[in-house]
Amino acid sequence: MKQLYRKLFFIACSLQIGVAALSQDIHFSQFFEAPLYRNPALAGIVNGDYRIQTVYRSQWNSITDAFKTTSLNAEYKLPIRNDDYLTLAMQVFHDQAGTTSLTTTHILPAINYHKSLSTEKSMYLSLGFMGGYVQRRIDRSKITTNSTYDGQGDGENGMMPKYGYWDGSAGISFHTQLGDNLENNLVLGTALHHFIRPKNSFYNNGTVAVNPKLVFSADVKLSLNEEGYVTVHNDYIKQASYAEKLTGAIYTHKIGAYTDEPDFIVGAGGFLRWGDAFIPTFQLNYQPFTVSMSYDVNVSRLSSTSYGQGGYEMSLTYRGFLDRDNSSANAVLCPRF
pLDDT tens digits, 263-291: 999 999 999 999 889 999 999 999 999 99
Query: Which residues make Cβ contacts (< 8 Å) with residue 63, sequence separation at least 6?
Result: 6, 7, 10, 305, 306, 307
Share of the chain above pLDDT 70, in %: 82
**Which has more pLDDT, 229 or 27?**
229
Q: For residue range 88-118, list pLDDT tens digits in order.
A: 999 999 998 766 778 999 999 999 999 999 9
Smallest CA-to-CA distance from 108 within 126, 128, 133, 76 is with 133
Q: Which of 233, 214, 196 is nearest to 35 (CA)?
A: 233
All domains in the chain, ordered by first residue: 2-330 (2.40.160.40)
- 145 pLDDT band, cuts 50/70/90, is low
Of 211, 17, 206, 27, the closest CA to residue 100 belongs to: 17
Q: How confident is the model at residue 299 (pLDDT cuts 50, 70, 90)?
A: confident
Alpha carbons 31 and 233: distance in angstroms, whole number: 9
Higher pLDDT, 316 or 160: 316
Beta-carbon contacts of 107 under 8 Å, excluding residues fewer than 6 positions away, are: 90, 92, 132, 133, 134
Average per-residue pLDDT for the chain: 86
Q: Taken in order 117, 83, 220, 27, is the CA torsion positive or negative? A: positive
The DSSP bridge partners found for residue 97 are 102
The whole-number average pLDDT for the span 183-199 is: 96
- Helices assigned H by DSSP within the chain: 2-20, 35-38, 146-149
At 17 the pLDDT is: 41
Separation in Å, CA 127 to CA 2, 60, 103, 111, 150: 53, 37, 31, 8, 56
* Whether the predicted pLDDT of 169 surpasses 70: yes
pLDDT at 62: 56
**pLDDT, tens digit, for every residue of 44-74?**
999 999 999 999 999 766 555 668 899 999 9
Alpha-carbon span 85 to 35, nearest angstrom: 17
Cα distances (Å, whole numbers) of residue 147 to 19, 144, 155, 161, 162: 20, 8, 5, 17, 21
Please compute the mean of the pLDDT values over residues 164-193 and round it to a whole number.
96
d(CA 161, CA 177): 50
In this prediction the pTM is 0.86
